Amino acid sequence: MASQAQTAPGENQEMISGGHLVAKALKAEGVDVIFTLCGGHIIDIYDGCVDEGIDVIDVRHEQVAAHAADGYARITGKPGVAVVTAGPGTTDAVTGVANALRAESPMLLIGGQGALSQHKMGSLQDLPHVDMMNPITKFAATVPSTERAADLVSMAFRECFHGAPGPSFLEIPRDVLDAKVPLEKARIPSSGAYRASTRSAGDPAAIERLADLVVGAEKPCVLLGSQVWTTRGTEAATEFVRTLNVPAFMNGSGRGTLPPGDPHHLQLARRYAFQNADLIIIVGTPFDFRMGYGKRLSQDATVVQIDLDYRTVGKNRDVDLGIVGDAGLVLASVTQAASGRVDNGSVARKTWLEELRAVETQAYEKRLPRQLSDASPIDPYRLVHEINEFLTEDSVYIGDGGDIVTFSGQVVQPKSPGHWMDPGPLGTLGVGVPFVMAAKYARPDKEVVALFGDGAFSLTGFDFETLVRFNLPFVGIVGNNSSMNQIRYGQIQKYGADRGRVGNTLGDIRYSEFAKMLGGYGEEVRDPKDIRPALERARESGLPSLINVWVDPEVYAPGTMNQTMYK
């Protein structure tokens, strides 16, 4: 506290400030970067980062800092950290924190705060941050004294990993942050010594029961959700589906668990499988709107749900068996338990796999002409088809937009696990540029490819400049329809063509010029045959890039036309 700052240090007594203690706690957690936008309330943290060798990536909007922290957590498995100033700095970051909550992403937001000595006096940028953050974090607190700065940071990290991961928030009053206290009086948790693994293998009796169910099932299927990636359970999930011959669907960050072309990898036959299966195993994804709140699963099927969070299991829909635990550990245990049987039933499931494969192939072939369409304006299916073909095993794919990203969700298949990033169930537009920043910073060895709607890009697009400034090249594509098309479709349906044009029209913007203006690479594409060469040149440029592809605004994705997201 301020009074402690005035305490005269004894001779030879080493003193340390709050900002330096924060940096030590970040270092202990293995954090190597903070995403931030500066403000007088937080500068001492930067000074601490200089001492600890933590990189400081300064952005142009705090929402970007928070989304980048979320993205960093997803890519690395370590908590992402954003540092923002008091008041508007913190309110600007709210969306990023909220997105991380729904996406179960472990990030820490540190916000400045007016001095404790001026508490409730109307200091610059004073707001009740902790009250604001409480409903959208797993933990939100004020750092009450300088000595506790590192301690509170470690406490916040501990909370990030309780159950399904999520965000924490700390506000640090300016006098608390700036004050210097004797080093020996501060609690500085040591790396690896202040929190335990929270991984749980589930109830052994439930594991046995699930093994029995799988062994006895004729038509099982599994949905591998985001937590398969969160728990780094890729290998266990792959072994589970292969050993027990269970067809698999993937969603969210779970996409890419199996590579495209894998015999157990299915995508388009999902509705059919959920209607016709006798056993459905849902791993690490809630029965939310993406799952029709569980209503799209056959009433006759045995339903099993595995999740890190007990609150998710059985929510919105009854389950026959629920297991709270780590996706990877649980699946590995089930494989082991089932493999001990004389016959694990895998041979009997061959016909079921063939049945699903036939449905999958038929759906694929029906759509293929659209994916190869030569139409101009360009059919969005053609654009996402070209992107899918362009991706390599080392391309991290990011989708940020409405209708155009709905198209890509059907067609783009990441080639490796952890190589798919979407906002998650909050559906936040604007995550694209910050996710690029986090992914390319954390994995410079990877190529990052991002598809934006023109509306989505404009929310956080100015941070393209930050990508240039920090030399974070990526291949960016804008699917430009000069509209907020996903919303426009619903308006036209409800209010007719004329009234359907209200509040959703964007200008005809040449985003390639925008990219060039900021020091990146850009091209305009109007002819479908030019998409691939333009993508190749963007790849070769070694710069942050935007290929602005003019797509047909009168063509909508089936998901948008069914308005499935509201049902």
Say which entry of ligand TPP, Mg ion, none residue 71 contacts (CB below 5 to 8 A, set by partner kind): none
Alpha helix segments (H runs only) across 77-225:
88-103, 129-133, 149-160, 174-178, 204-216
CA distance 120 to 173: 12
Q: Judged by CB under 6 A, which of 106, 430, 461, 528 binds ligand TPP?
A: 430
Residue with tokens 């798919």: 420
522 burial (CB, 10 Å; 0-12 / 13-18 / 19+) is: buried
For Mg ion, which is the closer residue by CB, 201 or 506?
506
For ligand TPP, which is the closer residue by CB, 216 or 559?
559
For ligand TPP, which is the closer residue by CB, 252 or 479?
479
The torsion angle over the Cα atoms of residues 156, 160, 161 and 165, rounded to 10 degrees, is 180
Q: Judged by CB under 6 A, which of 225, 414, 453, 528 binds ligand TPP?
A: 453
Which range of residues in 22-30, 106-114, 275-283, 476-484 is near ligand TPP by CB under 6 A?
A: 476-484
Say which entry of Mg ion, ligand TPP, none residue 518 contacts (CB below 5 to 8 A, set by partner kind): none
Please report, as ranges, the residues that interact with Mg ion according to CB under 5 A: 453-455, 481, 483, 485
Determine if 485 is a binding residue for ligand TPP (CB under 6 A): yes
Determine if 559 is a binding residue for ligand TPP (CB under 6 A): no
- 403-411 and 350-371 are packed helices; what angle lies between their axes, rounded to 10 degrees? 130
The encoded tokens of residue 198 equal 């929270």
Say which entry of ligand TPP, Mg ion, none residue 430 contacts (CB below 5 to 8 A, set by partner kind): ligand TPP
Which range of residues in 68-76, 84-92, 173-181, 485-493 is near ligand TPP by CB under 6 A?
A: 485-493
**What 3 state SS string does 193-217 have?**
CCCCCCCCCCCHHHHHHHHHHHHHC
Q: Judged by CB under 6 A, which of 36, 168, 416, 486 binds ligand TPP?
A: 486
- The answer to whether 418 and 449 have CB atoms below 8 angstroms apart is no
CA distance 396 to 398: 7
Q: Judged by CB under 6 A, which of 16, 59, 186, 404 binds ligand TPP?
A: 404
Determine if 428 is a binding residue for ligand TPP (CB under 6 A): yes
- 327-339 and 234-244 are packed helices; what angle lies between their axes, rounded to 10 degrees? 30
Q: What Rg value do the Cα atoms of the chain yield, rounded?
A: 25
- The answer to whether 313 and 305 have CB atoms below 8 angstroms apart is yes
Smallest distance, Å, CB 466 to Mg ion? 23
The three-class DSSP label of residue 237 is helix
- # binding residues, ligand TPP (CB under 6 A): 19
Determine if 461 is a binding residue for ligand TPP (CB under 6 A): no
Which range of residues in 390-398, 478-486, 493-501, 527-535 is near ligand TPP by CB under 6 A?
A: 478-486
For ligand TPP, which is the closer residue by CB, 429 or 437?
429
Which range of residues in 202-210, 309-317, 356-364, 448-456 is near ligand TPP by CB under 6 A?
A: 448-456
For Mg ion, which is the closer residue by CB, 16 or 405?
405
- The answer to whether 223 and 249 have CB atoms below 8 angstroms apart is yes
CA distance 12 to 125: 37
Site string for ligand TPP, 408-427 (x = CB under 6 A): -------------------x
Q: In DSSP terms, which residues pair with 551 in a beta bridge?
A: 378
DSSP 566: G
Binding site for ligand TPP (CB under 6 A): 401-404, 427-430, 453-456, 479, 481, 483-487
